[in-house]
Amino acid sequence: MRMRPIVGPVPDTGIRPAGGMDEIAGQLAAGGVAVLTGAGISTESGIPDYRGVTGRHRRHSPMTYQDFVSDEENRRRYWARGHVGRRAVAEARPNAGHHAVQALRAAGYVDAVITQNVDGLHQAAGTTDAVALHGSLDLVVCLDCGTIGPRDELDARLLAANGEFLAAQDAAGLRVNPDGDIELPDDIVHTFRVVPCARCGGVLKPYVVFFGENVPRPRTQRCFDLIDAADSLLVLGSSLAVLSGLRFVRRAAKDGKPVSIINLGPTRGDALAHAHVALPLGQALTELTERLARPQTSTAGAGRPPGREAGHRGDGRG
C-alpha cells in the first residue's frame, strides 16, 4: 500500500456519530478491542500532528520517498534537519494517553495496539507489542544492502562529522515537525555532511515509511490479522487522512464491528463510526480507565471482560 500525501486539514463533512463516552466505555468493557492510534495521542508529549488542532502540515510538507531517493541535496536537508530535530523527539516522554492505553491493554480490555506514529512512545509506556505501522525513528536502514541498525549509532557518526555545525544549532524555539525534523534555513543546511552506510557505503534512510512509500506487506497483513481477530476498533488521535490507517476502519466496519473514534477534529472515518468523542486523549482515556476500574458503574458490563486474562482474548485466539 502506497501512502498518499494529503495537504491540509480533513474537511468537516458535518457527520456527527451519535455515540459518546458511554458507548466507548461499553465497547471497552466488552473487551476484544483493537486500538489504532495516530499523531494526536502524542501531541500532549510535545510532538505536533499534521492535521489536527496542533497540526503544521499546512505550512510544512513532509519529505516524500521519491524526493529522498532521487536527490542528494534532499537527503542532506533531511538528515541535517532530522538530526537536530530528533533531540526534541528523543526527549519526549509518554503522556497520560499512552499510559492509559497500556493500562487498558494490561487489564484485558484491549487486545491489540496499532500505531501510525514513529516516535516509540507506546513502547516506552510499556506497550512493547504495539505494531508500528509506519516504522520507527529509532532505526535506520541502508537502501543498498538492507542493513537495519540503531539510530543512536548513526547520530554518533553524524555528530563526529558535523560537530561544529551541530554546536551552532539550538533546537530550542525552533519548530519541530511531526516526522522529527526541525525547520532550519537552507543557506546553512548545505554545509551538513551526510555519512554513508558503515557496512557498504550505501544510502541510509530512517526506518520509517515516507509519504509515497509502500508499507511492507507483512506488516500490513499483521495489522489486518489483528483487526480481523478483534471484536471492535477504537481510533485514538487520528484524522484517518491517509489510507494506510483508514483501510483498517473500513475493514472493521465492513465486517460489522463497532468503530469508535476519540479525536479533537473531524476524521475521514466518521461516517463509519458509531461514536466520536472530541476530547483531549489524556483526559478522555484517563476517564475511561477510571470508569472501568470502578466495581460499580453505569456502564453495562464494566470490569474485566469475563473469561479474559490480561492482554489475551478469552476465546483462545491470543
**Catalytic residues, which ones?**
134
- Are 35 and 289 contacting, i.e. CB atoms less than 8 angstroms apart? no
Burial of residue 148 (number of CB atoms within 10 Å: 0-12, 13-18, 19+): exposed
- Are 114 and 36 contacting, i.e. CB atoms less than 8 angstroms apart? yes
- Are 80 and 177 contacting, i.e. CB atoms less than 8 angstroms apart? no
Helices (H) and strands (E) in the chain, counts: 11, 9
**How far is the C-alpha of 135 from the C-alpha of 179, rounded, in Å?**
11
Which three cell numbers mark 86?
A: 530528533
Residue from 247, 254, 197, 196 nearest 224 by CA = 247
**How far is the C-alpha of 318 from the C-alpha of 313, rounded, in Å?**
5
- Cell numbers 459518546 label which residue? 20
**How far is the C-alpha of 151 from the C-alpha of 139, rounded, in Å?**
5
- Are 170 and 57 contacting, i.e. CB atoms less than 8 angstroms apart? no
Amino acid at position 101, single letter: V
Helix%, strand%, coil% for the chain, nearest 5? 35, 15, 50
Q: Which three-class secondary structure state does DSSP give residue 187? A: helix
